[in-house]
Chain A
């Protein structure tokens, strides 16, 4: 039942190499990795290729198949035409060691730079209590099998070797997001870290990483955009900025919305100066607001609880979402262009 199929496999090392032609028997129901194993057993015993579980769970056999970053164990031969030549090449973003094996140490370096989980003080092992809906957001990112296909495909480093130093890549953005959303992680500077140390700003949301993820993690929508959004909140929302200056919150968690401010105010301790969110009536005019460049009328939206189903679980977004494609990073109730008086942009040169 096997038929001979045409393959081109890149053979070589760091000094260069070329595509070599192979004619290999392919049987019904096989995947590309099965075929590579057959090449090893017949024509090319020293063909270098990483693999482990052959079940799409370990993320070892990452390579580029017909130019697309794929797991070889998850690429069915039936997805190609019988007459089609299948071209297999190593991951392009990382230096080649030999044949299909690349040096992926970049990823391990970045992993080591990402601050680890910080256990909450005073909570003994066995005393951790978390709700399913709260852990589910982080669990999505912990599905990552570290195949590094997202890292390979991300054009920030794929096409610009120089960026590697400053850019951690999608894999480590979801790690930062995972820890940011971890209900008990004691650190509160994950977003700042992503912005300042991981190079989150380089990402311009082309979603290539999400497309290649074999675990279908919504890297862009569920990790990168929320992280960017919150970093933006914090850095550019003057109310939040002012609040964080005045109240000198120890942790990076800035108050969001007036409710948060009230809560802080009623706390014990030295009497802090009170912020009046709305200036006296006489001064309230669009012009005056524009002059200050701060729209004090606009209440910052209060945080909204996640939409939890009857079973207490967070719905998988693609099933529950009422529109195609991803949610807007600015919130789906915001329409563009925004009326000027709803903007809360403040020019750095303007007095507050």
Chain B
């Protein structure tokens, strides 16, 4: 049903409270704690957070957990279904699927995570500068981005990979090139809404330099939108890495990339379906988990507004 009146009308007067003088505890600390309380208040977001932490744990402690090496072949056990010895079974080369899935977590999280991080860094810098400076600089940059983004993401990624040749570094570069413009656009749109605010103009009126205005005055206001975007980009990056692996144009064998594992398993899917099920399930769980998390982050940040 509709709401009779909007939120701002609803809390007329609320929020203009004058805090008691002793409420001077570091606001940011309370902020982070409240953030997690609010985030985990919905089961879906809590689940997302749990999944993310779980796979992060796998990625960090993988070598301690995995019973076998990444490419360790136990030829005598080749093609075995799941058993207490091999929880997820073994593939046709006798490699332990469970160990490979565990190692794959590190593979994909570092690749997607690092790529996202770099893209967020470049995108933020470009978006801040482009949005604040405006003019020709902004116009030209945005048109180039339009041109890049006029291509469906995977198309652009494939085009780049076709040129660079399939390898882990190429995939990393592709993530950076594809996501930088997207992040830049998001940041830019926030900057455009912020740049006319009084505190930015006050900074200009006292002659602050560009870097100070961009990073001290504007950047903090961009952070919430950036957090949501980074979480989304991260989940799409995983998606992308896995898809490229599956198409055979991304990370190359014998890497334990989940997408690649699914690709290799397809040939024997009738005899050894488990070799496909487990990496596919891992992809599905991670992507859904991070999506849920991103959704939760967005919800909390919107609510706190």
Q: Do A and B bind each other?
A: no
Residue numbers of B with Cβ under 8 A of A are none
Interface, chain A (partner B; CB < 8 A): none
